[in-house]
A and B are shown apart, each in its own frame.
Chain A
Amino acid sequence: MSDKMMDQIDVKILRMLQQDARTPFKVIAEQCNVSTDTIKNRFNSLKKKGIIRHSTIVIDPKKIGLGNIVLFGIRAVERYSDSVINMIKKIPGICVVTRAIGEYDIEAILILKDIEHIGTTKEIIEDDPQVKSVNVDIFVDKPLLCPKNFEFE
């Protein structure tokens, strides 16, 4: 899947845009010694192949009044219970929900306003008859986000 899907120019484009999604194509073109149109075409093709999902900005949730990042670890009665995942998906503030192998059957990350909100959300999850237990881990300080840490072969 991954081999020969990308060449050096593609990797360079990804690297530069990961650092700053707003880098002008002209600047990337100069670095790669190719035309701006080439970069533009490559970028569109990376998007079409689904390698680049989208470009976005990263916002500090605290600064817009969303306080806490919370990791929920859930053990469900029936392992991999779809109904639990569907219930969690609908909770406002949900970022990620996943099935898991390990201590928990389902893990989810939510962005929640304050401690009360964490409490009520935990109760909502616990109230589901399919849920056996809920563990809560609250991120403290600023989490270090490093989406640029991908390794390209």
Chain B
Amino acid sequence: MISMKLDKIDNTILETLKEDGRTSLREIARKLKVSPDTISNRFERLKKERIIIDSTVVIDPSKIGYSFITRFSIKVKPAYSTQILDKIIKIPSIIVASKIVGGYDMVAISVVKNFKHLCKLRDAILEMPHVEKVEIGMWIETMEICSHYFLI
């Protein structure tokens, strides 16, 4: 399952970049007293192995006009789930989409501006062919505790 063993250098790179994704590799090299090339090779390897999927800035949705987060649970005809998932993640404002096992077949999490926007999002999902049912959970006072694996 775990395809590569991470040593102290890899872990330091991950920890440092989790805290600040813009830290220069040179700075990490200095901290670890190794050459910048070593860090650069390791960084590339972590990316190649897809341990580091991406780097991004985390934006506060409330500062750019969004008021809350909503979780949509979606029931679909199973044969179409991959196809529907691909369509859902392309809807603007949807930030996470996944197949799930449980009462529903997939879940999507979205940042939402207002109730009108919420209805629009729900309708966009409901109107997709082979979507059977959508259930909504509106999130309030959301506390994000750890954003490194799961960005909300």
Q: Which residues of A contact B (CB under 8 A)?
A: 1-2, 5-6, 14, 17-22, 49-67, 69, 71, 73, 85, 89, 94-104, 107, 109, 111, 135-153
Contacts and interface: CB of A to CB of B under 8 A. Distances in A.
Contacts of B64: 2, 6, 51, 150, 152-153
Contact of B50 (A55, A60, A97): A60
A118 B60 CA distance: 30
Contacts of A138: 100-102
B17 interface: yes
A148 B58 CA distance: 9
A149 B150 CA distance: 14
A63 B151 contact: no
Given A56-B21, A95-B144, A5 B137 contact: no
Chain B at the A interface: SS class: mixed
A150 B1 contact: no
A149 B101 contact: no
Contacts of A152: 64
Contacts of A153: 64-65
Contact of B139 (A17, A49, A62, A98): A98
Interface string B110-152: 0100000000000000000000000111111111111111111
A101 B150 contact: no
A94 B145 contact: yes
Contact of A144 (B71, B96, B144): B96
Interface of B: 1-4, 6, 14, 17-22, 49-61, 63-66, 69, 71, 73, 85, 89, 91-104, 107, 111, 135-152
Contact of B93 (A67, A99, A104, A150): A150
A58 B96 contact: no
A16 to B, nearest CB: 9
A96 B150 contact: yes
A150 B61 contact: yes
B98 A98 contact: no
